[in-house]
Structure 1
Amino acid sequence: MRRTRSSAALVAAAVVAGGLALASPAHADPTPAGTFRKLVGVGSDTTQDVLNALAGDTVNNKSYADTAVKSASGAGIASYDAIEPGTGSTSSSVQTRSGGPAFLRPNGSGKGRLALSESLTGDKYPDSAGVSIKNQVDFARSSSGPSTSGTALTYIPFARDAVGVAVKGPALDSLTVDQLHDIYSGALTKVGGQTVHPKIPQSSSGTRKFFLSAIGLTDATLSPDIPTVQENQADSAITEDGALVPFSVGSWIAQNNGVAPDYSKAAAAAGAHLAAVQLPGDSGATTPVITVNGKLSPVTAYYENATFGRDVYNVVPSRAIDPAGIFYDKDLYDVFVTSGSHKAALASDAAEKVIADFGFVNEPYNGSVSVAKHAKLGGLEESGIDTSTPAKPGNLKAAPGDASLKLSWTAPAPTGLPLTDYRITLTRADGTVAAVKDVPAPATSYTFTGLADGTYTAVVAGANLNGTGAPATWTGAVRFASTTKATAATTAYGRTPKVTVTVTGSHGVAPTGKVTVKEGSTVLGTGALDGSGKASVALSNHLKVATHTLTVSYAGNGKLNASSTTATLKITKATPSVSSSAPGSISHTARAKVSVKVTATGTTPGGTVRIYEGSKVLATGTLSGGKVTVTLPKLSRGSHKLHAFYAGSSTVNSRSGADFTVKST
């Protein structure tokens, strides 16, 4: 049977009956200040307080040191609040590693998942104006499921929560899903004669995302007139009759029971409460909470409802909890994962008691990594990332040696998720598998040893968090190795850049043949090796001004395998010479003409020339064939010290010419 609310004063009365005093919020980042632990978590403020407690920190003036959750090796959790402890600032920074960068505190589930994603990719958080946070976050607290498809992240269910609606005013005691839809779309402005004043949590809030989905809306269909408030803070959101805001029921319980930092008891004492909601398929409304022995407790039927009940998650990198993978993190696995006979530390009896104290419902699938048992898989939550597997590795080369084979390749171009590792399979001429090896990116080589003589086929494929991509294949005999080295000096535009290449062979074999210089797939030049294995390759003197990454390849010969390297060539702007000629004197009623010539090695400069007297521009002209004649305005009587200034171009630097004097009579 569903329990219905009979009065808006029910929760407020429960608060008073429970003797809950209104107190200033007490927060808990890892304490004391400057404490660092291995397993760093950020994100949702819905679960921040219970994770702070499970980390063993002090929450709302109570120490949870005796129930701190740790891995088998003793690694602990460091859970950082969504907003700055003590100040409530949403623009403060957090430092999660000793000596690590300070970065904007992730506020909400979405920002937490973004921070975790960018901790994996090494990109800047929260955007290109931020800082790189590679390896600064290990898990994200999330009160909602994935926003993107993929398998990069595993959403491990942690507990059961529900989303209610905190309201003020008897007209809002009981609400339907349709009413909530119309209120938040802007179609309904009054309920029972009461003007409604809806609020919505910040954009990165998991509660916001979940609530809008539950009532059939999205950010795009949400009324733009609805103000944004910090998630799960009724004191600042529920300030007038008719106010309403989605709210974590677990957070409401924990705050009003005095377990979590208080952002809501003042509002509750003034009449704020959780509305009863008519759940889909029901004829009556269900209250999210009841009072038991003067304390608020969850209503199981509301929590288990498919519309407003929700799992809350700890989100971890999928690769970090794969015991067979090269990125396996046993400490993370010990704390979060329940699989087979292994039980997550967060699913222990002591941990689940703490979870229940903070208003959540424990479920038997706590710690599950199976999508059949409430776990979810999602992609990295970072804009511009897709679900593609890696492209084929480039320039797969082999350096056969005495019973060994060294394979080297270049990383494939980025295709969405970061490259994580390479799978290398080596087969013999008869098709049998000689060896299989996984190597982590960014390594781009591996050496097989102890091989018998013969012909082998090597297949190298890059893998990312979505799986294995297209393979690169090499087939050949065990031969001797070659090594290619190349350098290129910084060269001004218009001058001929040269790439100096040296190829050496192992076992005293002299290299012969050709080297090729490319930029991308474009051949820039080739050269033949001399008797000492060297070549100087001249490139075009009109390469654009930029830093060029060149691929220099040796084709090999009958005794030596091919090899390649990269070289950086920096093309700078040319330095011009500016000369000018003008009459020494001229009547003050006439207009002098100044001839200007701009030259640079290997190119004919174009662009603008200005004639200055001091800092004043007297006239301008445009070069044609590196020359221009500029007519000056009439000059006042006297001597005028002038100079020509060339403004430069995309290939030539700017420069001033020598001073010259024109006397006006």
Structure 2
Amino acid sequence: MRKTAAKLLAVAAIATSVATVAAGAAVADPAVTPAAADIVSVGSDTTQAVSTQFSADYNAYLTSIGDTTSPRYYSWDATGSATITPKSGASAITRPNGSGAGITELNTAGSKVDVARSSRAPKATDPASDIFVAFAKDAVTWSAKNGGHAPASLTAAQLKGIYDCSITNWTQISATLPNATIKPWLPQANSGTRSFFLTAIGNPTVGSCVQDGPEENEGVDSRLAGDDTVFPYSVAAYLSQTVGGHGTPTSNPGSLTLRNVGTLVPVNTTTNTINAPFAASAFGRVVYNVVRNAEWTATDAHGAALRNIFGPSGWICTNGTNDIKSYGFLPLSAAACGTTTHS
């Protein structure tokens, strides 16, 4: 990976109960059809809500300073209608769901999408022509049903065993746990959270006992309701849904609560933020907006708009801190926000 710019320990489950979930007005597709010159993003479910909030606040900022000519920014959700028309003059496309699908669409010939939201870092298989622009810090842990059979903590090695199916019963973890079959789940295939989580637990060869398909960060999926569920969850998404008030009837943890990885605790319950040691571990991740390098470096209005929104001196890095915190993420340092990375 090549850089092109500078860059608690109590063992207890996070037992926050989600009795009610406030509706999050910032989770929505654009209310208008973006103009052909506007900047539009697709992809990651994990960062869709904060990106929609960025859109509302950035566009309001341009209006407040009397700027009627600069391109506006809009963000399309990962789920919803089967197809979307990204902007005026564009053809309808299958809605990209997940980091991988967003990056694929960004690199489809003739694509009118300008940005792919990504909750994973670049991979060697990503096009070298893509630039990953950092904007915040997240972390991923595992979740289980509140009051179910899962323990408060599993080590990375135990999680790897669960997902390669060498550990299939709770009694293999501890004789004090119920004699019950573990039910490991993974988000849908294009999920950046899925990809990141598997890497963090040691790159297991996913076994036949693992089921997949639920949307990431949606614990209300009925398939996840059992006492023996194990399911990856973005810590930022969980905090956004339970503390930030941005949950919706479909995007909330349901009965799932976050669990520890070994002695690492995902949430600082005093500040209701991602716990710093957890964020600094292998389970902490940077989240990105991915753009095409040729457009990022262009001297035209389109390139300027991309940099003015996502760059080190752009709106997100200089004005987006409150949005980043409200949606559960940790802000990056001034030196790290807007830095770019290639595959």
* TM-score of the superposed pair, with normalisation by structure 2: 0.84
Matched with 1:30 is 30
Three-state SS of the structure 2 residue aligned to 1:332 is: helix
Given candidates 297, 307, 319, the residue that maps to 1:333 is 307
**AA matched with 2:52:** N
Question: Aligned partner of 1:101: which letter?
Answer: S
Structure 1 residue 275 corresponds to structure 2 residue 259: yes
2:269 to 254, 277, 291: 291
2:105–2:111: 8 Å Cα contact kept in structure 1? Answer: no
Q: Is 1:313 equivalent to 2:282 in the alignment?
A: no
Q: CA deviation at 1:311?
A: 0.4
Cross-structure match for 1:136? 112
Q: Which residue of 2 aligns with 1:156?
A: 133
After superposition, the C-alpha distances for 1:397-449 in whole angstroms (9 at most, x for unaligned) are xxxxxxxxxxxxxxxxxxxxxxxxxxxxxxxxxxxxxxxxxxxxxxxxxxxxx
- Asked if structure 1 preserves the Cα contact closer than 8 Å seen for 2:139 and 2:278, the reply is yes
Q: Secondary structure at the match of 1:28?
A: coil
Q: Is the 8 A contact 2:21 2:248 kept in 1?
A: no
Asked if 1 retains the 8 angstrom alpha-carbon contact of 2:217 and 2:253, the reply is no
CA apart distance, 1:150: 5.2
SS in 1 for 2:202: coil
Q: Which has the higher contact order (CA 8 A, sep 6+)?
A: 2
Asked whether the 8 Å contact 1:185–1:217 carries over to 2, the reply is no
Q: Amino acid of the residue matched to residue 237 of structure 2?
A: S
Q: Corresponding residue for 2:74?
A: 78
Q: 1:260 to 1:74 in 2, by over 3 A?
A: farther
Partner SS state of residue 195, structure 1:
coil
Matched residue, 2:100? 110
Partner of 2:174: none
**Distance in structure 1 (CA, Å) of the matches to 2:84 and 2:309:** 23
The structure that is helix-richer by fraction is 2
Unaligned runs of 5+ in 1: 58-63, 123-133, 279-284, 370-375, 379-665
Instruction: Measure the CA separation in 1 of the matches of 2:189 and 2:219.
Output: 17
1:159-197 deviations in Å (ceiling 9; x for gaps)? 000011111225331010011001001111122334311
Matched, 1:216 2:205: no
1:176 aligns with 2:175: no
Q: 1:487 aligns to what?
A: none
Is residue 54–residue 68 contact of structure 1 (8 Å, CA) maintained in 2? no
Q: 2:338 aligns with which of 355, 361, 367?
A: 367
Match of 1:189 among 168, 171, 179: 168
- Structure 1 residues 242, 158: closer, same or farther in 2, change over 3 A? same
Shift, 1:246, TM fit: 0.6
Change (3 A) 1:149 1:82: closer
Residue 102 of structure 1: how far off its partner (Å)? 0.8
Partner amino acid, structure 2, of 1:246: P
* Contact kept in structure 2, 1:233 and 1:263, CA below 8 Å: yes
| Deviation sequence 1:518-545 (CA, Å, 0-9, x none) | xxxxxxxxxxxxxxxxxxxxxxxxxxxx
Alpha carbons of structure 1 residues 167 and 259: separation in structure 2 relative to 1, 3 Å: same
**Given residue 263 of structure 1, which amino acid in structure 2 is its aligned partner?**
T
Shift of 1:10: 2.5
Q: Which amino acid aligns with 1:189?
A: T
Unaligned 5+ residue runs, structure 2? 1-7, 171-176
Distance 2:328 2:61 in 1: 17
8 Å contact from structure 2 (residues 260, 266) kept in 1: yes
The one-letter code matched in structure 2 to 1:299 is N
- Matches of 1:358 and 1:24, distance apart in 2: 13
Aligned CA distance change for structure 1 residues 108 and 10 (closer, same or farther; 3 Å): same
Residue 346 (structure 1) aligned with residue 316 (structure 2)? yes
Which of 80, 85, 96 matches 1:95? 85
Give the number of aligned pairs. Answer: 317
Matched residues in 2 for 1:246 and 1:176: separation? 14
Q: CA deviation at 1:224?
A: 3.0
Structure 1 residues 11 and 56, CA, compared in 2 at 3 Å: closer, same or farther?
A: same
1:336-358 deviation per Cα after TM superposition (whole angstroms, max 9, x unaligned): 111xxxx121101x311101110
Residues 11 and 273, structure 1, Cα contact 8 Å, conserved in 2: yes
1:23–1:159 distance in 2 versus 1, CA, 3 Å: closer
- Taking a change above 3 Å as real, the CA distance of residues 211 and 68 of structure 1, as seen in their structure-2 partners, is farther
SS at match of 2:254: helix
Aligned residue in 1 for 2:5? none
Q: Note closer, same or farther for the CA distance 1:150–1:103 as it changes in structure 2 (3 Å cut).
A: closer
| Kept after mapping to 2: 8 A contact 1:116/1:139 | yes
RMSD: 2.7
Deviation at 1:152, TM superposition (A): 0.3
Return the letter of the residue paired with 2:284. Answer: G
Quick check: which has more Rg, 1 or 2?
A: 1
For the residue of structure 1 that corresponds to 2:167, the secondary structure is: coil
User: Shift of residue 217 of structure 1?
Assistant: 2.2
- Structural mapping, 1:224-623, within 5 Å: 224-228=208-212, 229-236=214-221, 237-257=223-243, 258-263=245-250, 265=252, 267-268=254-255, 272-278=256-262, 285-292=263-270, 296-305=272-281, 307-323=282-298, 329-338=303-312, 343-348=313-318, 350-364=319-333, 365-369=336-340, 376-378=341-343
Q: 1:199 and 1:156 mapped to 2: Cα distance?
A: 30
- The alpha-carbon deviation at position 240 of structure 1 amounts to 1.1
Of Structure 1 and Structure 2, which has the larger fraction of its residues in strand? 1
Local SS of the residue matching 2:137 = strand
